[in-house]
Structure 1
Amino acid sequence: MTQRVVVDPVTRIEGHLRIEAETSPGGEITGAWSSGTMVRGIELILQGRDPRDAWAFAQRICGVCTLVHGIASVRAVEDALDYQIPPNAQLIRNLMIGAQYVHDHVMHFYHLHALDWVDVVSALKADPKATSALAQSISSYAKSSPGYFSDVQKKLKTFVDQGQLGIFANGYWGSPLYKLPPEANLMAVAHYLEALTWQREVVQLHAIFGGKNPHPNFVVGGAPAPISLDADTLAATSVNVQGLEIVKNVIARMQAFVNEVYLPDTLAIASFYKDWFRRGEGVGNFMTFGDFPEDGTGDPSKWLIPAGVILNRDLTTIHPVDLNDPMQVQEFVAHSYYGYSTGKDTGLHPYDGQTNLDYTGPKPPFEQLDVAKDYSWLKSPRWKGNVVEVGPLARVLMLNAKGFEPAVELTQKALRQLDLPLEAVYSTMGRTAARTLESKIVADQMSTWYDALIANIRKGELAVFNDAKWDPSTWPSVARGVGFMEAPRGALAHWIVIRDGKIDNYQAVVPSTWNAGPRDEAGKPGPYEAALMDRHTLADPKQPLEIQRTIHSFDPCIACAVHVVDPQGEELTQIQVR
């Protein structure tokens, strides 16, 4: 007899996600469904507004991604108006995006995903001396003495004894699915706490270039803060010598934490869970839009992350991506709470996209989804009809396929250390490891972008903004463009149609829509759904740790894909752009 397992809400993610899995009598997952449980209406909010203000609204799609929607939005307007930005502005954007990558990936690993592999309570049984020996055997990180781990253990014991475990309180501690020895668990808990302090420091980079974090400032046409050679100029209004020195130090701290803590911890934990390198892939198709231009020319050959699609794991053939082609990118709503004027079974390119809310599902609370009908507030995007996965795994595969030497060497070194073949990366743990490898690649590259920015400044090239097309009277009566980037969670794009100086249509297709979307009109499952049906067996349906591990490996950001709405349609808040 089959059983339906419901996980609602999935915790340790951003936003609201419901997962349902159907299991066989032996616990094997034979069917899975991903449901975003709140509506997103940002596209409707943006209609009729000045496109130069769009980024300030679009960036509020998510409070975790902080800057990615702002970048995609300003790039969409710049693409529509054929608006070139200065090289310095591109380098500054690269540094800001790069910092977002490293910050986001570290936070995800330690504070959202590691608890799927780390038994926090088990750390109380660890020997601090043995923990110190373990830590020193895998890294040169300074904080690895027996006294340090003893102090962490005492702090953890105080939390447990006083019932103050907080977000740790409802974990499946003691489950036989946890395989780390107590010493590895204690080391991971210590680094969990270290990462909390680290992340407060590294966000300074966003504050220097964008004025604040989260939601730093942006501007269509470049970067918002001018460069000043006056050391006494306030960093809040411009980027000065002192601010640039802080940026340099932040990059160094990022690189050190990735090299000495994050990368060794990932490989150490992965070595105990090699069986998770054999499940959780799903679709076998991967897509990147490309990002990190080296200059302001927009030449794709100079991007750090190349664009393309890999089908059926074939790394020898990279299919080109054209985001303006209506036959390549389409969104379907066959099982979504939206309606199209063209019908539920048709796909629409985002330039022609529609945001027609049409909730037909049951009223909560309900026991299970009617998956034969509509069951999610997410749409189902497809590339030439193919379900594709986006994110760190897609990017690392693309870098390997393109022969990017640092990525190839890093991937091969990690696989040799774990004694695994390349095929192992197509998995739940492979997705997690790819995020770590990518963090090192990006963190290392940040030094190159910083050095290029400093070299430009020393040559007297200080421009960060181009005002050539700031005046709407110079714009065409109708313009359309797409702004894309590689957000930490995957390929992100905003499509905009401008008519008579105002936004006529706006559509954002985000990474978690590509990955978490429901089945399409052909019944093809999305990447979350397919991954859960890829060799998963639940040991205990009441503690579905296996579901959490695979879903968390995608780093869900459902807030990017869905948003809260008042059931009576009343306005909840106002955002004013000055």
Structure 2
Amino acid sequence: MATQRVVIDPITRIEGHLRIELETSGGRITDAWASATQFRGIETILKGRDPRDAWALAQRICGVCTGIHAIASVRAVEDALDYPIPRQAELIRSLVTAMGIVQDHVMHFYHLHALDWVDVKSALAADPQAAARLAASVSPWPSNSAAWFREVQQRVGASVSGGQLGIFAGSYWGHPAYRLPPEANLLALAHYLEALQWQREIIRLHTIFGGKNPHPNFLVGGMACSINLDNQLGINAVRLDELTGLIGRARRFVEEVYYPDVLAIAGFYREYAAIGISSPTLMAVGEGAFSCAGTPVAGEVRAGVLADGDYEELRPFEPAKIAEFVTSSWYAYPEGDNAGRHPWRGETAPRYTGPRPPYGQISDNVKYTWVKAPRYDGRAVQVGPNARMLVACAQGHKDATRLTDEALAGLGAGREALNSTLGRTLCRAVESVLLCNRMDEWFRQFQERIHAGDTTTFNPDKWDPATWPKSAQGVGFTEAARGTLSHWVEIENGRITRYQCVVPSTWNSSGRDASGQPGPFEHALAHRGHHPLLEPGRPLEVLRTIHSFDPCQSCAVHLFDPAGGTIGTVSVS
């Protein structure tokens, strides 16, 4: 059967620039290449700077992954300087991280991923009364009324009839891969609109603790916010009440809207529990839904690796086994393209060797992307919420195991199905339920400590560079919404001499390494040649799988230079 080449450029509804090139035959994908086509390079501009300032630049890697890069950065510096922070600061960082992940998961599902499963035009043919009955059967959410569904239908219908699809333009409505009945489509469409308002409100937690959003403020040695119940400018009783409300509203929407919607929609697409199977080695560093940042507690999930498709035996996580390759990416190492470098020896030296645009194929070249290829112990590694759930279940984490197994039972699938297109989507919803529970617990601890007199959010002991060692190196690990994140720093005489970021979408969207291993995106599309692609001109199935990773290519290749300085010179035309 003839082989066809397919190019999808750009992949939309993601952050950054991603191009997917495919070979297909007989309605199946036989090979795939993931190419990030935008150069960035924030690590380079951090050299020579005061390490206490690194977080402010590092978190500008992305405007979607708000705050998490700052946390990884301050932890790297604190690790290098052996700089402990107060428990209240740890709790604040955990609350900020958790709310950011919950908001990210909900926004990802409704605003970036749901339209891969939900046919908006089909919703216009739905019976609002029947949609309300369907909604009542799965959730007590008060907005699920026939009147609200009718209003949504009329608003969207007016746009469609006027030829103004707006935010719903450019999709593949009517594609044969859509399965939901009209009423389920209307239900999801209404929740899409509600999620727009919800996410804007609950992220106010970031502004209370960090002053603003996106890019809230952080501080090496703790947090920049003060706790003072008698001061209008600090975290006072009014702010505590507001935080209680925000956490409560986040939890209710997750439990009564997001989680039920994911389970309901998944039931119509059960085959995707066996589509999009990706790299069989998964890794998580043990945070996110399970532990307070920087404070391992007995019974919480520890870092671990599940290797080669064995989801029962958890191996210890060893950072020394990480290496980044530039075999398929437009960078250069002094020792050549086939050598891997540990992040503490990492370099960001751009060298573009690709074709001049406009081009037909990039994947005809050995080098075809701006994303490096991180590997763990020589293996391509998948990171993300599904890795976190599998690592948690392998350790017998009670709540993660219960929720995950309940969700999978509804699909008639085993735990191995978490490594799939549907599994990655399902794990975000499961993790959001867990995170809301953890936020309740962390905030309770935070309040109890305040009432016991603990209002310390900053440790000044090592703020003065005179207290620092002449040479130091550190790493900050955390779990971002999209997976394991690490920042690596070297400090000499009070200044940064090397800075490297290994981020979730670098792990997941990497290209081939020196041994020819594909990265997780490529693996998920081309593994065994099972992935469907019914209509190459309307590649809905590909979008489902790529979006299930929630790509953030801006994070994967980094960028920012506020002074407009030259990072590197790349000639492409």
TM-score by length of 1: 0.95
- The verdict on how the C-alpha distance between 1:565 and 1:489 changes in structure 2, with shifts beyond 3 A counting, is closer
2:274 matched to 1:278? yes
Structure 2 residue matching 1:364: 3-state secondary structure: coil
2:536 matched to 1:541? yes
2:489 matched to 1:496? yes
Tell me if the contact between 1:15 and 1:562 (Cα under 8 Å) persists in the aligned partners. no
Pairwise CA distance, 1:342: 1.5
Q: Which ranges of structure 2 fall in alignment gaps of 5 or more residues?
A: 568-573
Q: Deviations over 1:95-119 (max 9, x none)?
A: 0000011100000000000000000
2:401 matched to 1:408? yes
1:7 aligns to what?
A: 8
Q: Distance in 2 between matches of 1:40 and 1:320?
A: 33
- The verdict on how the C-alpha distance between 1:100 and 1:565 changes in structure 2, with shifts beyond 3 A counting, is closer
Counterpart of 1:531, as a letter, is: A
2:232 aligns to what?
A: 233
Pairwise CA distance, 1:517: 0.5
2:410 aligns to what?
A: 417
Q: Distance in 1 between matches of 2:560 and 2:202?
A: 33
Counterpart of 1:420, as a letter, is: A
Pairwise CA distance, 1:370: 3.6
2:83 aligns to what?
A: 83
1:259 aligns to what?
A: 255
1:420-431 alignment, distance < 5 Å: 420-431=413-424
Q: Which segment drifts farther, 507-516 or 241-250?
A: 241-250
- The verdict on how the C-alpha distance between 1:129 and 1:294 changes in structure 2, with shifts beyond 3 A counting, is closer
Pairwise CA distance, 1:299: 5.1
Q: Which ranges of structure 1 fall in alignment gaps of 5 or more residues?
A: 573-578
1:357 equivalent among 343, 347, 350 = 350
Q: Deviations over 1:294-340 (max 9, x none)?
A: 568x45454844211001232332111122x2xx0000000100000
Tell me if the contact between 2:59 and 2:70 (Cα under 8 Å) persists in the aligned partners. yes
Tell me if the contact between 2:32 and 2:526 (Cα under 8 Å) persists in the aligned partners. yes
Counterpart of 1:51, as a letter, is: P
Tell me if the contact between 2:33 and 2:363 (Cα under 8 Å) persists in the aligned partners. no
Structure 2 residue matching 1:486: 3-state secondary structure: strand
- The verdict on how the C-alpha distance between 1:203 and 1:126 changes in structure 2, with shifts beyond 3 A counting, is same
Q: Distance in 2 between matches of 1:563 and 1:86?
A: 30
2:521 aligns to what?
A: 528
Q: Distance in 2 between matches of 1:570 and 1:163?
A: 44
Q: Distance in 2 between matches of 1:152 and 1:254?
A: 22
Q: Distance in 2 between matches of 1:299 and 1:273?
A: 39
1:36 aligns to what?
A: 36
2:47 matched to 1:47? yes
Q: Distance in 2 between matches of 1:377 and 1:183?
A: 43
Structure 2 residue matching 1:125: 3-state secondary structure: coil
1:576 aligns to what?
A: none
2:555 aligns to what?
A: 560
Tell me if the contact between 1:288 and 1:390 (Cα under 8 Å) persists in the aligned partners. yes
Structure 2 residue matching 1:561: 3-state secondary structure: helix
Q: Which segment drifts farther, 310-319 or 541-550?
A: 310-319
Q: Which segment drifts farther, 527-536 or 361-370?
A: 361-370
2:315 aligns to what?
A: 319
1:27 aligns to what?
A: 27
Tell me if the contact between 1:305 and 1:395 (Cα under 8 Å) persists in the aligned partners. no
Q: Distance in 2 between matches of 1:301 and 1:91?
A: 13
- The verdict on how the C-alpha distance between 1:373 and 1:191 changes in structure 2, with shifts beyond 3 A counting, is same
Q: Distance in 2 between matches of 1:180 and 1:295?
A: 39
Q: Distance in 2 between matches of 1:561 and 1:421?
A: 31
Tell me if the contact between 2:291 and 2:297 (Cα under 8 Å) persists in the aligned partners. no
1:472-483 alignment, distance < 5 Å: 472-483=465-476
Structure 2 residue matching 1:264: 3-state secondary structure: helix
1:445 aligns to what?
A: 438
Counterpart of 2:456, as a letter, is: A
Q: Deviations over 1:222-262 (max 9, x none)?
A: 011010111x512xxx2111111111111100110010000
Pairwise CA distance, 1:144: 1.2
Structure 2 residue matching 1:14: 3-state secondary structure: coil
Q: Distance in 1 between matches of 2:518 and 2:296?
A: 31
Q: Distance in 2 between matches of 1:312 and 1:384?
A: 12
1:115-514 alignment, distance < 5 Å: 115-230=115-230, 232-234=231-233, 238-291=234-287, 298=294, 300-302=296-298, 304-323=300-319, 325=320, 328-514=321-507
Structure 2 residue matching 1:533: 3-state secondary structure: helix
- The verdict on how the C-alpha distance between 1:99 and 1:295 changes in structure 2, with shifts beyond 3 A counting, is closer
Pairwise CA distance, 1:563: 4.8
Q: Deviations over 1:522-578 (max 9, x none)?
A: 000000000001321210010011110000000000010125699xx9669xxxxxx
Tell me if the contact between 2:21 and 2:363 (Cα under 8 Å) persists in the aligned partners. no
Counterpart of 2:491, as a letter, is: I
Q: Distance in 2 between matches of 1:158 and 1:222?
A: 51
Q: Distance in 2 between matches of 1:181 and 1:423?
A: 28
Tell me if the contact between 1:294 and 1:302 (Cα under 8 Å) persists in the aligned partners. no
| CA RMSD, 1 decimal | 1.6
Q: Distance in 2 between matches of 1:33 and 1:543?
A: 18
- The verdict on how the C-alpha distance between 1:295 and 1:552 changes in structure 2, with shifts beyond 3 A counting, is closer
Counterpart of 1:484, as a letter, is: F
Structure 2 residue matching 1:53: 3-state secondary structure: helix
Counterpart of 1:159, as a letter, is: S
Tell me if the contact between 2:301 and 2:395 (Cα under 8 Å) persists in the aligned partners. no
Pairwise CA distance, 1:413: 1.3
Structure 2 residue matching 1:373: 3-state secondary structure: coil
Q: Which segment drifts farther, 369-378 or 279-288?
A: 369-378
Structure 1 residue matching 2:533: 3-state secondary structure: coil
Pairwise CA distance, 1:27: 2.3
Aligned-residue identity in percent: 54
Q: Distance in 1 between matches of 2:299 and 2:318?
A: 16
Tell me if the contact between 1:32 and 1:529 (Cα under 8 Å) persists in the aligned partners. yes
Tell me if the contact between 2:42 and 2:560 (Cα under 8 Å) persists in the aligned partners. no
Tell me if the contact between 1:88 and 1:462 (Cα under 8 Å) persists in the aligned partners. yes
Q: Distance in 1 between matches of 2:556 and 2:364?
A: 19
Pairwise CA distance, 1:199: 0.7
